Amino acid sequence: MPWDYSDKVRQLFMDAVAGKAGTHMGEIPDADGVGRHGSIACGDAMEFMFRVEKDADDPHRDRIVESRYRTFGCTSAIASSEALCRLLEERRLTPVEALAIKNADIVDYLDGLPPQKLHCSVMGAEALQAAVVDWARRRGVPSADLGIDPALLEEDEGRIVCRCFNLTEPYIRRKIKELGLSTIDDVTAAIKAGGACTACHHEPGGIQDLLDETWGGRPEPAPARPAAEAQKKAHRTPYQLAKEIERVLEQVVRPRLAADGGDLEIVDIRDRKVFCRLQGVCAGCAGARQTLRFVVEDALREAVDPEITVIEV
């Protein structure tokens, strides 16, 4: 697809990468607030920092006087980062006031972004918010003064809905509300959730469910499996079933896990119960082991038999 970037996006990107005077790519050695958002696995990540002119009496009156970023990402991600710094520079805001800058302000500053690139502007707003939270912690400003529900920040750790981008249920719920997202496409455009394997779109507890629960939609009935397929599956002998499970694990699941540095070892297969051991770098993440188990189980259920359960040994 050809680039749909505004002249503003093009200009900010080219100037920033060329390191022209007045651009903001880089670091501040003694920054007062540092925030990060994104992950290289997701294709973009931003580190944002600012320095304040400290008010001797009241940290609430600190003013942001300098900001910098380092961003791994596409053209619009870098342009969004640059735009954020310029917005801050023009306005000389306090960190709390800066929280009013939303992704829509960044999009406006850029004279628009293609829909599939909106998540780049969201990343900018998220990193700013994270940096302000960091500043508040350092300056002893109570988080209640930021007007952000601290519970929301805590809750972002939770059940992972979008496994490809490692996005949690509380986070997706919060963004659905904050940004007024009403369809799966909106969610993907804004925060990428559901943008890769698409498995989380309509599964129970998936993005559609979260949308329905937020906006009061009615969940669609689960599509019935074709009778012929169920029939075919019922005819397998236990031996064939075991072989089939083994085949799917070896040829579908293991390569998929391997792509993320993980692996799986089959311990035993008893009828529709698959006992296995999960290994790899993912095992380090919070909740990842559980997620891994679901990934394996989903793959087996889809490819072999809906009754299969995976048991981690």
Catalytic annotation, residues: 42, 120
Point out which residues bind another protein (CB under 8 A).
1, 3, 5, 10, 13-14, 16-19, 25-26, 35-47, 69-75, 77-78, 116-117, 126, 129-130, 133, 153, 156-157, 164-168, 171-172, 188, 191-192, 195-197, 228-229, 232, 247, 251-252, 255, 258-260, 303
Compare residues 14 and 266 and give the one whose CB is closer to another protein: 14
Q: How far is the CB of 104 from another protein (least distance, A)?
A: 20
Q: Are 122 and 191 in contact, with CB atoms under 8 Å apart?
A: yes
Q: Which of 154, 55, 46, 39 is nearest to 96 (CA)?
A: 55
Long-range Cβ contacts of 308-313 (<8 Å, 24+ apart) = 308/245, 308/272, 308/273, 308/274, 309/272, 309/273, 309/274, 310/274, 310/276, 311/273, 311/274, 311/275, 311/276, 312/275, 312/276, 312/277, 312/278, 313/267, 313/275, 313/276, 313/277
Compare residues 108 and 156 and give the one whose CB is closer to another protein: 156
Q: How far is the CB of 56 from another protein (least distance, A)?
A: 28
Q: How far is the CB of 55 from another protein (least distance, A)?
A: 24
Compare residues 221 and 231 and give the one whose CB is closer to another protein: 231
Q: How far is the CB of 260 from another protein (least distance, A)?
A: 8
Which pair of structure tokens corresponds to residue 256? 């998929």
Give the DSSP letter string of 192-212: -TTSSS-TTTTSTTSHHHHHH
Compare residues 115 and 217 and give the one whose CB is closer to another protein: 115
